[in-house]
């Protein structure tokens, strides 16, 4: 339970970090909060030759809000989503799922960018980013590119980031007028990996849903968008007589879209059922939280 | 081959300058190098919570940090919680409420709870229970720990 030997590098600039990553490629690993990487080192599941500690790079630690989007530096701690009034206001969905990421103590250290780069199919932040349609900024010595959340998560623990690329920032669409959000997950114990989780973002105008997004987590090898299910909600007054039917149909389609698996903790059928149950809850929660705004807003 | 680095770190108010292997965990550095064995090592992969210390004021898992990462930082361990002979209010409350038995998990819980209460001075019992989900205790059944943290909190609610 001790890390294997490696060379530790603490670059003073993003350029220097990219240089090290460019030179060592897949033999180098980026060290951010260490909440996933260090256990993997301790258990000898990872044996990088070089660790690139990005925790002190100022350029990765900022937060900026403008034009309806929030840009969060890769090393901003998960705890910021719970504690910053600004982030809670601008990113209610990410804030709602944050208490489920590990534990109070690990969220002090775990980073937002690290959670995304780690690409755990059961991760809360990957699900939130996919549901909101956000993106990340990846830099390498060859330049930079934006990767949409839907393209970032390839497979469990596998992101679209190249070995020489560093995830430097995350772009989140900010909460707009008329939008509401819901998040729910089921785990055996608080802080454990979820058996299933569902997130919903929807816009409500003049008593009906005008736009809806539904994301499913821990029920496939990556977070999924249940687009067909979300489509059912559009045009519906979820508080009206047909509302229950629309919510149930969306939840049914979401469960059908899941690609769950059997394991020690739950059967695939149980996970699929959870998606339907949690789906109804989060759609209702999103509708209710969007209810404060009406008329021509948005 | 293992590389070494020199670090300057303040632990419980005392400054240390030490050469450490780059792969040395902070938990091992505290225990083996500085002799601060109040920081306990349980799972060494961030699950059990017994190695929790403060890094620049924030509760963190010392088994998930490398000692070399604390260069220039301020670390506080359970040995630094009391004010000399005067116990920290959390320590007093743990004694008062029988919130420990074997004591293995206790240092980590104390350090986590101290930071938790700094951010949430009057937590509800369920919030305390949620925080404790990150700490494994095999003796108490948690109820007396919740009592102790509630008693030490601003609300004193039980």
CATH topology of domain A7-53: 3.30.43
- Average per-residue pLDDT for chain B: 95
Closest by Cβ to B133, choosing from A43, A108, A190: A190
Q: Which of B45, B60, B134 sits opposite A42 (nearest CB)?
A: B45
The two structure tokens encoding residue A259: 């690609």
pLDDT number for residue B158: 47
What's the whole-number mean pLDDT along residues A144-153?
98
Give chain A's mean pLDDT: 95
Q: Do A105 and B44 touch (CB under 8 A)?
A: no
Q: pLDDT digits over B90-115, tens only?
A: 999 999 999 999 999 999 999 999 99
Closest CA of chain A from B64, distance in Å: 5
Domain with CATH 1.10.150.120 in chain B: 89-152
Architecture in CATH of A179-289 = 2-Layer Sandwich (3.30)
- A58-173 adopts what CATH topology? 3.30.465
The Cα–Cα gap between A262 and A273 comes to 13
The residue ranges of every structural domain in chain A are 7-53, 58-173, 179-289
Kindly tell me if the per-residue pLDDT of A294 is higher than 50.
Answer: no
- Which alpha helices (DSSP H) does chain A contain, by range? 14-24, 37-42, 79-83, 85-90, 92-97, 104-109, 112-118, 124-132, 149-152, 227-233, 243-257, 268-289
Write the ipTM.
Answer: 0.95
Residue of B nearest to A99 (CA): B130
Do A58-173 and A179-289 come out as alike in CATH topology? no
Listed by number, the residues of chain B in 6-25 with a beta carbon closer than 8 Å to a beta carbon of chain A are 22-23, 25
Kindly state whether A191 is in contact with chain B, defined as any CB-CB distance less than 8 angstroms. yes
Would you say A149 and A185 are in contact if contact means Cβ atoms under 8 Å apart?
no
Region(s) of chain B under CATH 3.10.20.30: 4-78
Mean pLDDT of A198-206: 97
pTM for this entry: 0.95
Tell me the average pLDDT across A98-123: 97
Q: Do A34 and B65 touch (CB under 8 A)?
A: yes
Phi, psi of B100 (to 5 degrees): -145, 155
What class has domain B89-152? mainly alpha
Identify the CATH homologous superfamily for domain B4-78.
Beta-grasp domain (3.10.20.30)
Beta-carbon separation of A1 and B64 below 8 A: no
Q: Could you read off the pLDDT of A234-260 as tens digits, one per residue?
A: 999 999 999 999 999 999 999 999 999
- Tell me the torsion sign for CA atoms B57, B62, B65, B71: positive
User: What confidence tens digit (pLDDT) does each residue in B15-35 have?
Assistant: 999 999 999 999 999 999 999
pLDDT of amino acid B155 = 56
């Amino acid at each position: 339970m001790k890390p294997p030997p490696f060379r530790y590098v603490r670059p003073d600039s993003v350029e220097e970090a990219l240089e090290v990553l460019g030179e060592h490629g897949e033999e180098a690993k980026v060290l951010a909060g260490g909440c996933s990487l260090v256990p993997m080192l301790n258990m000898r599941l990872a044996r990088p030759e070089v660790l690139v500690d990005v925790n002190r790079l100022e350029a990765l630690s900022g937060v900026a809000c403008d034009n309806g989007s929030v840009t969060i530096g890769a090393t901003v701690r998960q705890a910021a989503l719970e504690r910053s009034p600004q982030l809670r206001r601008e990113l209610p969905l990410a804030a709602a799922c944050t208490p489920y990421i590990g534990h109070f103590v690990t969220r002090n250290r775990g980073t937002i960018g690290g959670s995304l780069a780690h690409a755990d199919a059961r991760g809360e932040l990957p699900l939130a980013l996919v549901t909101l349609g956000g993106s990340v900024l990846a830099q390498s010595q060859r330049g930079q590119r934006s990767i949409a959340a839907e393209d970032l998560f390839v497979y469990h623990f596998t992101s679209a980031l190249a070995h020489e690329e560093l995830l430097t920032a995350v772009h989140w669409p900010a909460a707009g007028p008329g939008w509401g959000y819901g998040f729910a997950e089921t785990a055996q114990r608080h802080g454990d990996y979820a058996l299933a989780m569902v997130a919903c973002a929807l816009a409500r105008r003049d008593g009906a849903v005008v736009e809806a997004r539904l994301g499913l987590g821990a029920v496939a090898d990556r977070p999924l968008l249940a687009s067909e299910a979300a489509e059912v909600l559009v045009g519906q007054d979820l508080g009206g007589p047909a509302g229950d039917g629309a919510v149930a149909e969306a939840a049914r389609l979401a469960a059908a879209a899941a690609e769950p698996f059997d394991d020690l903790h739950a059967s695939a059928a149980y996970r699929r059922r959870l998606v339907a149950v949690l789906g109804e809850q989060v759609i209702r929660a999103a509708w209710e939280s969007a209810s404060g705004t009406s008329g021509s807003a948005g | 081959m293992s590389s070494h680095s020199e670090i300057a770190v303040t632990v419980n108010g005392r400054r240390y300058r030490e050469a450490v292997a780059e792969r040395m965990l902070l938990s091992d550095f505290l225990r083996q190098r500085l002799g601060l064995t109040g920081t306990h090592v349980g799972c060494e992969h961030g699950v059990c919570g017994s190695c929790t210390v403060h890094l620049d004021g924030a509760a963190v898992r010392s088994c998930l940090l490398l000692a070399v990462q604390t260069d220039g930082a301020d670390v506080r361990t359970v040995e630094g919680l009391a004010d000399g002979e005067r116990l920290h209010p959390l320590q007093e409350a743990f004694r008062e409420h029988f919130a420990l038995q074997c004591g293995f998990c206790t240092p980590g819980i104390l350090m986590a709870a101290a930071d938790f209460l700094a951010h949430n001075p009057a937590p509800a019992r369920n919030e305390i229970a949620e925080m404790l989900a990150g700490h494994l205790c095999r003796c108490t059944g948690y109820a007396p720990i919740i009592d102790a943290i509630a008693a030490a909190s601003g609300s004193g609610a039980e």
